[in-house]
Structure 1
Amino acid sequence: MARWIESWMPGSSTGPPGRGADGHPGQRFGLPAEGVSSVAGFGRRLGALLVDWLLGYLIALLVLGSDEIGGPNLSWAVLGIWFLLTAVPVAVFGASAGMTLLGIRVASIDSAPVIGIPRALLRTALIALVLPAVARDGDGRGWHDRAARTIVVRTRA
């Protein structure tokens, strides 16, 4: 039986969690089961997000100074800096600093070389809301990836 979200979220897989409808995550997009260009696992994706967030935190502290630790301005500054550090490189290069470090990148499911600015902004804004990134389909794509028509793949084994 399909999960409730699959009834109204287009492009949903009805297979068991963690597997695409045809066997392995990403198979319906023509991706291999393992190695380069396979679907990136949740651990790598979370690690990349943490690296980017820490980088944003460090830059915010450098800009605002250590006096802002615990202040309300620091949280917003970190969010804004993280947003820029994620959206711009993903739009232009397909990967943020954390993604590059962990060997993953954002790929378009329509074979475009990069996803472009509008889709990168949408994707990053939805990641900032957290829930869209946590609710994933059988191909490992969160709502943010589905809305932007993207999939996160490995760049190295």
Structure 2
Amino acid sequence: MPDGGAHVANAPLGRRLVALGIDWGIASVISYAFLDYHPLASLGVFALMTYLLVATLGCTIGHRILGIGVRGLEGGLPGPVRAAVRTVALCLAFPPVITGPDGRGLHDMWAKTRIVRR
């Protein structure tokens, strides 16, 4: 498959939420250890970590642990532009909770991505 073996099925919401929690937890630990646990520092670490990992590998640490990943609608890795759009929208907080009929959040719709099972 052109997407590195990802299945076509969207990842279940539960896995996506647990992955988000894992990623936020990692960002919080880094913020606590090095940045005085400032809320904006935690968000910045989360955003940087999410952007870099999604743009280069197609998944965050939480995604990898839960067996899911981010793909473009055509099946390939999202790349830097889609990863940037998705990360900025994700950090706005409200786009991920507003979903379309296919279960994708606004952040994924805007970035033309989806979270799939790997």
Higher helix residue share: 2
CA contact (8 A) 1:132 1:144 kept: yes
1-structure distance, mates of 2:18, 2:95: 17
Select the residue among 102, 121, 128 that pairs with 2:66.
Answer: 102
Secondary structure of 2:71 counterpart:
strand
In structure 1, what is the equivalent of residue 19 of structure 2? 48
1:134 correspondence with 2:105: no
In structure 2, what is the equivalent of residue 122 of structure 1? 85
Aligned counterparts, 1:73-88, within 5 A: 74-88=38-52
- Kindly state the Cα deviation for residue 87 of structure 1 after the two structures are TM-superposed: 0.8
Cα deviation code 1:79-126 (max 9, x no counterpart): 010001111110111000000011110011123x21111110110111
Letter in 2 for 1:96: T
2-structure distance, mates of 1:57, 1:95: 19
Letter in 2 for 1:115: P
CA contact (8 A) 1:105 1:153 kept: yes
TM-score (norm 1): 0.68
CA contact (8 A) 1:107 1:151 kept: yes
Largest Rg, 1 or 2: 1
Letter in 1 for 2:78: I
- Kindly state the Cα deviation for residue 37 of structure 1 after the two structures are TM-superposed: 3.5
Identity rate, percent:
38
Any stretches of 5+ residues in structure 2 without a counterpart?
A: 1-6
Any stretches of 5+ residues in structure 1 without a counterpart?
A: 1-35
TM-score (norm 2): 0.89
Where do 4+ consecutive residues of structure 1 move more than 6 Å? none
Secondary structure of 1:95 counterpart:
coil
CA contact (8 A) 1:41 1:140 kept: no
RMSD: 1.5
Letter in 2 for 1:104: I
Cα deviation code 1:105-148 (max 9, x no counterpart): 0011123x211111101101111111110111121111111111
Letter in 2 for 1:53: W
